Amino acid sequence: MGVVSAKSPVLNQVYANVLNKPIIVPENDVTGLGSAIFAFLAAGEFRTIEEAQEAFCPVYQTFEPQGSSRAVYEELFENYRHLYFAFGRKDSAPLALGGVLPELRRVAAASRTRVDTSERSDHNLSRALA
């Protein structure tokens, strides 16, 4: 994923949401760590890869997918596929694009409504627990 994503919690959360998988990000630079682990393993310093990992691998942060955003990404992906395959082929038929922007606006509005509703629920829960 690179240095940019390692320093961007927002981007890592987007990755987790889009892929619908946990994203694990080390807190320190791990460039060359795999090579070092295998070098120590070859030198006999460790018996297993797991043992070397325990000794060398840094603490990491896990970004879990947010279930509430999954439906939004699925809708957006359908729009992406529609456009990608229409633009990506020389022989593709003309594409009616008039519905794309209204659809994106609809998805955005629905997403804002879900966030507002979720925030109100969280606020109400916080007040109830106080």
- Reading the chain (130 residues) residue by residue, the pLDDT tens digits are 555 666 789 999 999 998 999 999 998 888 899 999 999 999 999 999 999 999 998 899 999 999 878 888 888 888 888 888 888 777 878 878 888 889 899 988 988 887 666 555 545 544 544 4
Name which of 113, 111, 114, 21 is nearest 72 in CA terms.
111
Q: Which two tokens stand for residue 60?
A: 């990491």
- Positive or negative: CA dihedral 107, 108, 114, 118: positive
pTM above 0.85, yes or no: no
Q: For the chain, what are the domain ranges?
A: 3-63, 67-129
Contacts of 85 (CB under 8 A, 6+ apart): 92
- Report pLDDT for 31: 87
| C-alpha–C-alpha distance, residues 87 and 81, integer Å | 10
